[in-house]
Amino acid sequence: MKELLTIKRSADGDDVLNLVNNQYQNVISVTGSDHNLEDIESGSVLVLTKAGATTVTLPTVARGLNFRVIMGSAQAHVIDGGSSVIEGDIIDCSNGTTLARTPVTNRSSITTANTAIGDHLDFQSDGTSWYVTGLLNDTPTLA
């Protein structure tokens, strides 16, 4: 079971209020090959730092869920929507200096290619689908 609330205490006590009021985002450093997100982790920033590829599985869609995934290692990471549909747009640099738009329509997974550290994808759910926007170094593979 995941913790619902983490409380930090600082010398002046402001950290408690900042965390409760969502002024800090939960940062999850993913060092393993798989990470299954849970709805309670909504609003979190995931940093994929494993020296090999990581597969992140999004939770079942629910209105208001959202996640940011930052590539902290240059690997072919996979974001899996499970049985949920992923829709949206990703801007990529075609592994060079040419900007391109990759439309994401009725897909279930995104695999990064020629990943640069700092590439990122944002996921939002309306309760029906996952919607993605992001910036990547190269055109991802969609499935």
Record the pTM: 0.85
Q: What is the pLDDT of residues 90-127, one digit of tens each?
A: 999 999 999 999 999 999 999 999 999 999 999 999 99
CA distances from 123 to 25, 43, 67, 97 (A): 15, 10, 5, 25
Instruction: Determine what percent of the chain is predicted with pLDDT higher than 70.
Output: 84
Residue 85 in this model has a pLDDT that exceeds 90: yes
Q: What is the pLDDT of residues 35-61, one digit of tens each?
A: 999 999 999 999 999 999 999 999 999
Residue 133 in this model has a pLDDT that exceeds 90: yes
Q: What is the mean pLDDT of the chain?
A: 90
For range 66-71, the mean pLDDT? 98
Q: CB neighbours (10 Å) of residue 19?
A: 16
CA–CA gap between residue 4 and residue 89 (Å, rounded): 32
Higher pLDDT pick, 13 / 107: 107
Q: What is the pLDDT of residue 24?
A: 77
CA–CA gap between residue 142 and residue 138 (Å, rounded): 12
Residue 20 in this model has a pLDDT that exceeds 60: no
In the sheet that 120-125 helps form, which strands lie side by side, from edge to edge? 27-30, 45-48, 66-71, 120-125, 130-136, 86-92, 100-107
